[in-house]
Amino acid sequence: FIGIHFFSPVEKMPLVEIIVGRKTSTQTIARALDYVAQLKKTPIVVNDSRGFYTSRVFGVFTAEGMKLLEEGVNPALIENVARQAGMPVGPLAVSDEVTLELQYKVLKQTEKDLGAKFMKPVSYDVLHKFVEELRRIGRRGGAGFYDYPPGAPKHLWPGLAGVYPPAAQQPDPEEVRKRLMYIQALETARCVEEGVITDMREADIGSILGFGFAPFTGGTLSYIDGMGLPAFVALCQKLAKKHGPRFAPNRLLKRLAKEGTTFYGRFPPKPPSSAAPPPAASPTW
């Protein structure tokens, strides 16, 4: 059994995420890779977890955008800062594209599956309001964070100001940028710690081709490595103190920072082999 995760729109998106289970054979992985090669797509191989790798990181990006909106940050500021940071579209626009309804259904299913262990993401209340109360489910429904008038360009819904009034004092754009970018890099680091990601190159490739993380950075892990882990950890700690524990650096990040190494230094790429490696049963550090 193996998962093959395509990205929408399939005919345009180059990435395919291959999700491996604990008992998936190397032969099955090899067949999946051959299949993806025939389709002329770029594969990455990750271990199974809720949300896999790409959906997990994509989810924290959109959630942070919704949290900013809920806090009273001007929606145009959120969207423009995200694009200026190198993202192809802002978190509100891309949420509309995948639909708010789908994201809300995923959260409700997760809540049902996990029960008492479920922790509400920062986007939960915003999604509930838009899907359950406002009935604005996203682009597919013709209305979400944006309006989609027939024959005219989309535009941010003017009613947003009534639902989440802009705060009198708006944050510095740099603060917004850090929140949107660091949360994605941090979630990738958590995926490495949990053994979802075993090859740092696949994390970087997946972040750029899968959810459009600023290509000039080299990807989410190269973004951290380029900044330096001590600096990244210190900045995350500041964000955690100000905005909550979701920004707290994980144990692996702090360990690598203390060692003075990087993700690529600690987990160097392995030489190519004739068959894909078996999935890691647990992290190897």
Residues that are catalytic = 5
Backbone torsion region of residue 228, taken as left when φ is above 0, otherwise alpha when ψ lies between -120 and 50, otherwise beta? left
Tokens of 231: 């600096």
Residue 105, by phi and psi: left (phi above 0), alpha (psi -120 to 50) or beta?
Answer: alpha
End-to-end distance of the chain based on CA atoms, in angstroms? 27
The label of the residue with tokens 């997990």 reads 56
CB atoms within 10 A of CB 202: 21
Question: Which SS3 state, helix, strand or coil, does residue 237 take?
Answer: helix
Residue type at 67? K
CA gap 72, 90 in Å, rounded = 16
- As beta bridge partners, residue 2 has 20
Residue 209 contacts residue 203 (beta carbons within 8 Å): no
